[in-house]
A and B are shown apart, each in its own frame.
Chain A
Amino acid sequence: MSAAQTLAQKLVARAAGRAHVQPGEIVSCTVDLAMFHDSSGPRRLAPMLAELGAEIWDKRKVVLVIDHYVPAADEESLRIVRLARDWAREQALPHVHDGQGICHVVVPQAGHLRPGMFCVGGDSHSPTGGAFGAYMFGIGATEMLGVVTTGEIWLKVPQTVFMHWIGRLADGVSAKDMMLAMIGRFGMNGGQYQAVEFCGEAVAALSMAERMTLCNMSAELGAQVGLVAPDATTQAWLREAGVEVSDDEVAGWHGDEHAPGVRHAFDASTLAPQVALPHSPANVRGVDDLEPTKIDVAYIGACTGAKLDDLRAAARVLAGYRIAAGVQLLVAPASVRDREAAQREGVLQVLLDAGATLLPSACGACAGYGGAIPEGSTVISSTARNFKGRMGADSARVYLGSPYTVAASAVHGRIADPRELLP
């Protein structure tokens, strides 16, 4: 059979040990990497593994990242983190990243991902790995138990939805704005658990961190995976992470011409900064179409919105400004590596000079931990979700925007268009 296949089909076919798979068919796939964190991992897996009397199928293919309950805010959190550490030691897991940052950023930075891999993660933002041309999706703890005991998982081969972005983004407009625009247009289940492939000139021009933002928020689009076909940008970034990828490999992980799929076109050059209003990432408007909205907290954090490029974006807006009186600007870099790079570049200093408060590199307020978001407050955040109560305060009103928009809003004390502040 020589029917044209999408990148998603090719990735699934390889994992299923097949030359060709058809969208809609159910296949069994061999897993190359299983990632989980302190919340979804050991505390759920350890008792079930003991109950089964089963062993981990291949410890080299397992990565544990402790990122949710650190720093431990209370006794319960401390208990969860201790359990994760003790279990990792007992199991002699070779890949443990403790307090190094958020799993979706730490995993590629530690060199665990390469194009062509088939991976699962115990977290809904696992599609972030698709930025590297890997098929990576989120699963729950019980299904993770199935994976870590058998090394396999079932999959319904997805259709592919192509999001084709022509043109180039204007300065101050970013991958986050592209993603909010797509979620606003198609809704939170618009992806219907299919594969989304981001492509076109605007996507090719994005940095790896920006591509990660696109793939990360495939979760909010309701897709199973978000993919960007690898290229020279991927190769260069992975080389920095200690992963060599050959030209042939890069060329191999691309969809065929005339592969089946649904195609949507967008123009990056006319895109304005986008904001999602409370309480849904799909409740999206252009930043200039908002009523004047005063804010109390500006939050730059999470795997979605606090990678090095996100911190750089915020610093470009904030350079030479102070945040408005009465506003809190909270910055939780996505990983220790990103924070250290930001420090070396002087980016961190710009943020601090503008009045930012630095928080630990962990999931933090994005997942409702740490108590950083006061009840009753209005928040603009670079994170992925603004469900009611998501950030830990039921009565908070959370708006989502790019790091540029969050930074500009901190300066003005109200949600603002960052393009006016950029030099």
Chain B
Amino acid sequence: MNAGLRHRAWRLGADIDTDQLAPGRQMKHGLDVIAQHCLEGVRPGFAAGVRPGDVIVAGPNFGIGSSREQAASVLVHLGIAAVIAPSYGGLYFRNAFNVGLLLLTCPQAGDVADGETLAVDARAGRIVRANGEVLACEPIPGFLLDMVEAGGLLPQLKARFARTGARDTETP
């Protein structure tokens, strides 16, 4: 991700669960329908107002709950460039990278205000605020950064199967 890009922040609270991101009632539908209802309970107008390149800045425990990966892919679908939060549900963390959504673990995420613009450098693990303040993020294993840059696990598997034409072992 380009460190020079400006990302508009949508500020959310703590414990944003997978039902808020992808409501169970909508799960029988495709991503385009689920996306219309994303976060409608906690942030009405989010789905309609979000622009490609925006980021979500949330409180602790983002993505707790279900294994449904639509809760992560719906944010990719809506063009969210990254989620920035102090902590995540563990299953959500895996799902996000698998579907190509960057999650940055940032203890100081709470400092960011709604609507603020940020610069994000995933490889360096840093976020720069408009006032120049730098927020440090926890390092992400290289193979996960590669995965998110490839657009998720599916494109990686595609490349692997195209290359080998056969099964290959998954090495982190």
A387 touches B20 (CB 8 A): yes
B163: interface (CB < 8 Å):
no
Q: Which residues of B contact A121 (CB under 8 A)?
A: 67
B55-104, CB < 8 A from A:
60-61, 64-69, 72, 87, 89-91, 93-95, 98-99
How many B residues, CB 8 Å from partner? 43
Q: In terms of DSSP, what is the predominant structure of the interface of chain B?
A: loop
Considering only CB atoms, which chain B residue lies closest to A54 in the complex? B161
Q: CB-CB contacts of A182-199 with B at 8 A, as 1s and 0s?
A: 000001110111000000
Q: Which residues of A contact B95 (CB under 8 A)?
A: 139-140, 142-143
Most buried by A among B19, B24, B169: B24
B172 touches A154 (CB 8 A): yes
B93-147, CB < 8 A from A:
93-95, 98-99, 141, 143
Interface size class of A (residues with CB under 8 A): 35 or more
A175-225, CB < 8 A from B:
187-189, 191-193, 219, 222-224
Known: A80-B28, A188-B61, A389-B25. A146 touches B170 (CB 8 A): yes
Output the least CB separation between B87 and chain A (Å). 6
A388: interface (CB < 8 Å):
yes
Q: Which residues of B contact A315 (CB under 8 A)?
A: none
Output the least CB separation between A130 and chain B (Å). 15
Considering only CB atoms, which chain B residue lies closest to A388 in the complex? B41
Known: A48-B154, A122-B67, A140-B67. A189 touches B169 (CB 8 A): no
Known: A193-B93, A387-B20. A57 touches B167 (CB 8 A): yes
B32: interface (CB < 8 Å):
no
B146-170, CB < 8 A from A:
152-154, 157-158, 161, 167-170
Considering only CB atoms, which chain B residue lies closest to A191 in the complex? B90
Output the least CB separation between B140 and chain A (Å). 12
Considering only CB atoms, which chain B residue lies closest to A122 in the complex? B67
* A400→B50 CA distance, assembly (Å): 35
* A139→B72 CA distance, assembly (Å): 13
Output the least CB separation between B4 and chain A (Å). 30
A222 touches B89 (CB 8 A): yes
A51 touches B28 (CB 8 A): no
Q: Which residues of B contact A152 (CB under 8 A)?
A: 169-170
Q: Contacting B91 at CB < 8 Å: which of A48, A139, A389?
A: A139
Output the least CB separation between B37 and chain A (Å). 10
Known: A146-B153, A146-B157, A193-B93. A367 touches B170 (CB 8 A): no
Output the least CB separation between A365 and chain B (Å). 10
Q: Which residues of B contact A146 (CB under 8 A)?
A: 98, 153, 157, 170
